[in-house]
Structure 1
Amino acid sequence: METEWRQSSVVDSSIDPDLDEQSLRQGAPWRGQWPVIRVVAFGGAIGASARYGVGLLWPLAPVAFPWTTLAVNAVGCAVIGVFMVVITQVWDAPRLVRSFFGTGVLAGFTTFSTYAVDIQRLVNGGRAGAGLAYLGLTLLAALAGVWAGASVTRRVVGGRAGR
Protein backbone atom coordinates (compact mmCIF):
# COMPACT_ATOMS: atom_id res chain seq x y z
CA MET A 1 0.00 0.00 0.00
CA GLU A 2 2.82 2.41 0.85
CA THR A 3 4.44 1.79 -2.53
CA GLU A 4 1.11 2.42 -4.27
CA TRP A 5 0.75 5.73 -2.43
CA ARG A 6 4.22 6.92 -3.39
CA GLN A 7 3.68 6.04 -7.04
CA SER A 8 0.28 7.69 -7.36
CA SER A 9 0.75 10.83 -5.28
CA VAL A 10 2.36 14.09 -6.14
CA VAL A 11 2.75 16.90 -3.66
CA ASP A 12 3.40 20.23 -5.36
CA SER A 13 5.22 22.33 -2.79
CA SER A 14 4.98 25.38 -5.07
CA ILE A 15 1.22 25.37 -4.56
CA ASP A 16 1.30 24.80 -0.81
CA PRO A 17 4.67 24.25 0.85
CA ASP A 18 2.96 23.34 4.13
CA LEU A 19 1.13 20.37 2.63
CA ASP A 20 3.23 17.25 2.95
CA GLU A 21 2.92 13.57 2.17
CA GLN A 22 2.33 12.72 5.84
CA SER A 23 -0.79 14.90 6.11
CA LEU A 24 -2.11 13.41 2.86
CA ARG A 25 -1.59 9.86 4.16
CA GLN A 26 -3.42 10.75 7.35
CA GLY A 27 -6.50 11.70 5.34
CA ALA A 28 -6.09 15.48 5.51
CA PRO A 29 -5.63 16.47 1.85
CA TRP A 30 -7.68 19.66 2.31
CA ARG A 31 -5.72 20.91 5.31
CA GLY A 32 -4.37 24.33 4.46
CA GLN A 33 -5.76 24.28 0.92
CA TRP A 34 -8.60 26.80 1.28
CA PRO A 35 -6.48 29.83 0.25
CA VAL A 36 -5.43 27.95 -2.89
CA ILE A 37 -9.00 26.87 -3.65
CA ARG A 38 -10.26 30.43 -3.21
CA VAL A 39 -7.67 32.02 -5.54
CA VAL A 40 -8.10 29.29 -8.19
CA ALA A 41 -11.88 29.75 -8.11
CA PHE A 42 -11.62 33.53 -8.27
CA GLY A 43 -9.05 33.39 -11.06
CA GLY A 44 -11.09 30.80 -12.93
CA ALA A 45 -14.16 33.04 -12.79
CA ILE A 46 -12.13 35.91 -14.24
CA GLY A 47 -10.65 33.74 -17.00
CA ALA A 48 -13.95 32.12 -17.95
CA SER A 49 -15.66 35.52 -17.99
CA ALA A 50 -12.94 36.88 -20.27
CA ARG A 51 -13.35 33.90 -22.60
CA TYR A 52 -17.13 34.42 -22.65
CA GLY A 53 -16.55 38.11 -23.42
CA VAL A 54 -14.33 37.23 -26.38
CA GLY A 55 -17.10 34.98 -27.66
CA LEU A 56 -19.56 37.88 -27.43
CA LEU A 57 -17.16 40.21 -29.25
CA TRP A 58 -16.31 37.63 -31.94
CA PRO A 59 -19.48 35.55 -32.41
CA LEU A 60 -19.62 32.83 -35.04
CA ALA A 61 -22.48 31.02 -36.70
CA PRO A 62 -23.05 27.49 -35.34
CA VAL A 63 -21.78 25.92 -38.58
CA ALA A 64 -18.71 28.17 -38.87
CA PHE A 65 -15.15 27.09 -38.21
CA PRO A 66 -14.46 27.85 -34.50
CA TRP A 67 -11.85 30.58 -35.01
CA THR A 68 -12.76 32.26 -31.71
CA THR A 69 -11.95 29.22 -29.58
CA LEU A 70 -8.80 28.56 -31.60
CA ALA A 71 -7.61 32.14 -31.05
CA VAL A 72 -8.46 32.08 -27.34
CA ASN A 73 -6.55 28.84 -26.82
CA ALA A 74 -3.52 30.02 -28.83
CA VAL A 75 -3.34 33.38 -27.04
CA GLY A 76 -3.88 31.75 -23.65
CA CYS A 77 -1.07 29.28 -24.31
CA ALA A 78 1.27 32.09 -25.37
CA VAL A 79 0.50 33.92 -22.14
CA ILE A 80 1.15 30.70 -20.20
CA GLY A 81 4.60 30.53 -21.83
CA VAL A 82 5.35 34.12 -20.81
CA PHE A 83 3.99 33.60 -17.32
CA MET A 84 5.96 30.44 -16.60
CA VAL A 85 9.25 32.07 -17.63
CA VAL A 86 8.49 35.14 -15.53
CA ILE A 87 7.60 33.23 -12.36
CA THR A 88 10.37 30.64 -12.66
CA GLN A 89 13.28 32.75 -13.94
CA VAL A 90 12.59 36.41 -13.26
CA TRP A 91 10.28 37.03 -10.35
CA ASP A 92 10.13 35.33 -6.98
CA ALA A 93 6.32 35.32 -7.06
CA PRO A 94 4.25 35.09 -3.88
CA ARG A 95 2.92 31.63 -3.08
CA LEU A 96 -0.58 32.01 -4.55
CA VAL A 97 0.29 33.83 -7.79
CA ARG A 98 0.81 30.63 -9.78
CA SER A 99 -2.46 29.18 -8.49
CA PHE A 100 -4.40 32.37 -9.16
CA PHE A 101 -3.08 33.28 -12.59
CA GLY A 102 -1.88 29.98 -14.04
CA THR A 103 -4.39 27.49 -12.70
CA GLY A 104 -7.21 29.99 -12.26
CA VAL A 105 -7.23 32.79 -14.83
CA LEU A 106 -5.40 31.10 -17.70
CA ALA A 107 -7.02 27.70 -17.24
CA GLY A 108 -10.40 29.43 -17.07
CA PHE A 109 -9.61 31.44 -20.20
CA THR A 110 -8.34 28.56 -22.34
CA THR A 111 -10.86 25.84 -22.95
CA PHE A 112 -10.44 22.18 -23.75
CA SER A 113 -14.14 21.48 -23.24
CA THR A 114 -15.29 24.00 -25.86
CA TYR A 115 -12.56 22.70 -28.19
CA ALA A 116 -13.95 19.15 -27.83
CA VAL A 117 -17.55 20.31 -28.33
CA ASP A 118 -16.51 22.32 -31.40
CA ILE A 119 -14.91 19.22 -32.93
CA GLN A 120 -18.02 17.16 -32.19
CA ARG A 121 -20.24 19.88 -33.68
CA LEU A 122 -18.17 19.99 -36.87
CA VAL A 123 -18.15 16.20 -37.23
CA ASN A 124 -21.87 15.86 -36.48
CA GLY A 125 -22.58 18.65 -38.96
CA GLY A 126 -20.96 16.64 -41.75
CA ARG A 127 -17.68 18.55 -41.65
CA ALA A 128 -15.32 15.83 -40.42
CA GLY A 129 -12.44 17.27 -42.45
CA ALA A 130 -12.86 20.65 -40.79
CA GLY A 131 -13.10 18.94 -37.40
CA LEU A 132 -9.87 17.06 -38.03
CA ALA A 133 -8.16 20.23 -39.27
CA TYR A 134 -9.36 22.11 -36.18
CA LEU A 135 -8.12 19.32 -33.92
CA GLY A 136 -4.62 19.47 -35.40
CA LEU A 137 -4.48 23.23 -35.86
CA THR A 138 -5.43 23.88 -32.25
CA LEU A 139 -2.77 21.47 -31.00
CA LEU A 140 -0.12 23.11 -33.18
CA ALA A 141 -1.26 26.65 -32.28
CA ALA A 142 -1.25 25.85 -28.55
CA LEU A 143 2.22 24.30 -28.60
CA ALA A 144 3.57 27.08 -30.82
CA GLY A 145 2.00 29.66 -28.51
CA VAL A 146 3.65 28.27 -25.38
CA TRP A 147 7.00 27.92 -27.17
CA ALA A 148 6.86 31.42 -28.70
CA GLY A 149 5.73 33.06 -25.46
CA ALA A 150 8.47 31.37 -23.46
CA SER A 151 11.19 31.94 -26.10
CA VAL A 152 10.43 35.62 -26.62
CA THR A 153 10.20 36.22 -22.89
CA ARG A 154 13.56 34.51 -22.28
CA ARG A 155 15.16 36.73 -24.94
CA VAL A 156 13.57 39.89 -23.55
CA VAL A 157 14.56 39.24 -19.95
CA GLY A 158 17.93 37.76 -21.00
CA GLY A 159 20.45 38.51 -18.31
CA ARG A 160 17.91 40.14 -16.03
CA ALA A 161 16.78 36.88 -14.45
CA GLY A 162 16.16 37.53 -10.77
CA ARG A 163 16.57 33.98 -9.55
Structure 2
Amino acid sequence: MAEGITAMTWLAVFMGGGVGSVLRFGLGQGLRSVEIGSFPWAVLAANVLATALLAWCAVTGAELWGRTSPMWFFMTVGVCGGFSTFSTFAWDTLRLWQDGGWALAVANVAVSVVGCVAISWWVAQITS
Protein backbone atom coordinates (compact mmCIF):
# COMPACT_ATOMS: atom_id res chain seq x y z
CA MET A 1 0.00 0.00 0.00
CA ALA A 2 1.04 3.59 -0.53
CA GLU A 3 2.70 5.35 2.37
CA GLY A 4 0.16 6.46 4.98
CA ILE A 5 -2.64 4.38 3.44
CA THR A 6 -3.77 1.72 5.90
CA ALA A 7 -6.56 -0.82 6.04
CA MET A 8 -8.43 1.72 8.19
CA THR A 9 -8.14 4.25 5.34
CA TRP A 10 -9.72 1.79 2.91
CA LEU A 11 -12.50 1.08 5.40
CA ALA A 12 -13.08 4.81 5.91
CA VAL A 13 -13.41 5.37 2.14
CA PHE A 14 -15.78 2.42 1.86
CA MET A 15 -18.00 3.60 4.71
CA GLY A 16 -17.94 7.23 3.58
CA GLY A 17 -18.89 6.21 0.06
CA GLY A 18 -21.91 4.40 1.44
CA VAL A 19 -22.95 7.44 3.46
CA GLY A 20 -22.52 9.75 0.46
CA SER A 21 -24.46 7.46 -1.85
CA VAL A 22 -27.35 7.19 0.61
CA LEU A 23 -27.36 10.99 1.00
CA ARG A 24 -27.50 11.41 -2.78
CA PHE A 25 -30.29 8.86 -3.10
CA GLY A 26 -32.26 10.53 -0.30
CA LEU A 27 -31.82 13.96 -1.85
CA GLY A 28 -33.01 12.61 -5.19
CA GLN A 29 -36.07 11.05 -3.61
CA GLY A 30 -36.83 14.21 -1.68
CA LEU A 31 -36.58 16.43 -4.74
CA ARG A 32 -38.74 14.17 -6.92
CA SER A 33 -41.84 15.78 -5.46
CA VAL A 34 -40.66 19.29 -6.38
CA GLU A 35 -39.20 18.46 -9.80
CA ILE A 36 -39.95 21.16 -12.34
CA GLY A 37 -39.78 20.01 -15.93
CA SER A 38 -37.03 17.69 -17.06
CA PHE A 39 -34.09 19.60 -15.56
CA PRO A 40 -32.00 17.34 -13.26
CA TRP A 41 -32.31 19.44 -10.10
CA ALA A 42 -31.36 16.64 -7.71
CA VAL A 43 -28.07 15.95 -9.50
CA LEU A 44 -27.24 19.66 -9.59
CA ALA A 45 -28.05 19.98 -5.88
CA ALA A 46 -25.97 16.92 -4.97
CA ASN A 47 -22.98 18.13 -6.94
CA VAL A 48 -23.12 21.68 -5.53
CA LEU A 49 -23.55 20.43 -1.96
CA ALA A 50 -20.76 17.84 -2.35
CA THR A 51 -18.50 20.54 -3.79
CA ALA A 52 -19.23 22.85 -0.86
CA LEU A 53 -18.50 20.05 1.60
CA LEU A 54 -15.29 19.12 -0.20
CA ALA A 55 -14.13 22.75 -0.16
CA TRP A 56 -14.82 22.92 3.56
CA CYS A 57 -12.91 19.67 4.10
CA ALA A 58 -9.99 20.92 2.02
CA VAL A 59 -9.61 24.00 4.21
CA THR A 60 -11.00 23.27 7.66
CA GLY A 61 -10.99 19.48 7.61
CA ALA A 62 -7.32 19.40 6.70
CA GLU A 63 -6.56 21.44 9.82
CA LEU A 64 -8.84 19.34 12.03
CA TRP A 65 -7.86 15.86 10.90
CA GLY A 66 -4.77 16.16 8.71
CA ARG A 67 -4.73 15.00 5.10
CA THR A 68 -3.58 11.48 5.86
CA SER A 69 -6.08 10.56 8.57
CA PRO A 70 -8.89 8.08 7.96
CA MET A 71 -11.39 10.86 8.73
CA TRP A 72 -10.00 12.96 5.86
CA PHE A 73 -10.45 10.06 3.45
CA PHE A 74 -13.88 9.21 4.92
CA MET A 75 -15.14 12.74 4.21
CA THR A 76 -13.35 13.67 0.97
CA VAL A 77 -13.01 10.49 -1.06
CA GLY A 78 -15.86 8.65 0.65
CA VAL A 79 -18.74 10.99 1.50
CA CYS A 80 -18.05 13.67 -1.11
CA GLY A 81 -17.20 11.09 -3.77
CA GLY A 82 -20.34 9.09 -3.05
CA PHE A 83 -22.55 12.17 -2.81
CA SER A 84 -21.41 13.86 -6.02
CA THR A 85 -22.20 12.30 -9.36
CA PHE A 86 -20.39 13.40 -12.49
CA SER A 87 -21.51 10.34 -14.43
CA THR A 88 -25.20 11.07 -13.81
CA PHE A 89 -24.62 14.73 -14.68
CA ALA A 90 -23.09 13.67 -18.01
CA TRP A 91 -25.88 11.18 -18.75
CA ASP A 92 -28.64 13.65 -17.85
CA THR A 93 -27.03 16.29 -20.06
CA LEU A 94 -26.82 13.88 -22.99
CA ARG A 95 -30.44 12.81 -22.43
CA LEU A 96 -31.62 16.42 -22.40
CA TRP A 97 -29.72 17.10 -25.64
CA GLN A 98 -31.05 14.00 -27.39
CA ASP A 99 -34.61 14.79 -26.34
CA GLY A 100 -34.37 18.17 -28.06
CA GLY A 101 -33.72 20.14 -24.90
CA TRP A 102 -30.40 21.53 -26.10
CA ALA A 103 -30.94 24.80 -24.20
CA LEU A 104 -31.51 22.86 -20.96
CA ALA A 105 -28.45 20.70 -21.70
CA VAL A 106 -26.25 23.77 -22.20
CA ALA A 107 -27.76 25.40 -19.10
CA ASN A 108 -27.07 22.24 -17.09
CA VAL A 109 -23.41 22.27 -18.11
CA ALA A 110 -23.03 26.00 -17.48
CA VAL A 111 -24.83 26.06 -14.14
CA SER A 112 -23.12 22.90 -12.91
CA VAL A 113 -19.59 23.94 -13.82
CA VAL A 114 -19.86 27.61 -12.88
CA GLY A 115 -21.96 26.84 -9.80
CA CYS A 116 -19.58 24.21 -8.46
CA VAL A 117 -16.47 26.30 -9.07
CA ALA A 118 -18.16 29.35 -7.52
CA ILE A 119 -19.35 27.47 -4.43
CA SER A 120 -15.91 25.94 -4.01
CA TRP A 121 -14.28 29.38 -4.17
CA TRP A 122 -16.85 30.91 -1.82
CA VAL A 123 -16.56 28.19 0.83
CA ALA A 124 -12.76 28.35 0.65
CA GLN A 125 -12.96 32.13 1.17
CA ILE A 126 -15.25 32.03 4.18
CA THR A 127 -13.42 29.16 5.88
CA SER A 128 -9.85 30.37 5.32
1:149 alignment counterpart? 123
* Structure 1 counterpart of 2:78, from 104, 120, 134: 104
CA distance in 2, matches of 1:121, 1:34: 40
* Larger-gyration structure (1/2): 1
TM-score normalised over the length of structure 2: 0.87
Q: Which runs of 4+ in 1 moved over 3 A?
A: none
Displacement of 1:33: 4.2
Q: d(CA) in 2 for partners of 1:130 and 1:72?
A: 18
Matches within 5 A, 1:1-163: 16-17=3-4, 33-59=6-32, 60=35, 64-88=38-62, 90-93=63-66, 95-154=69-128
Could you tell me whether the CA contact under 8 Å between 1:80 and 1:149 is conserved in 2?
no
Q: Contact conserved, 2:9 with 2:70, CA < 8 A, in 1?
A: yes
List per-residue Cα deviations over 1:85-109 (Å, max 9, x = no partner): 1133x32447111111100001100
Instruction: Tell whether the 8 Å contact from 1:39 to 1:100 is kept in structure 2 after alignment.
Output: yes
Give the Cα separation in 1 of the matches to 2:76 and 2:99: 34
SS at match of 1:68: helix
What is the total number of aligned residue pairs between the two structures?
124
Distance change >3 Å, CA 153–CA 49, structure 1 → 2: same
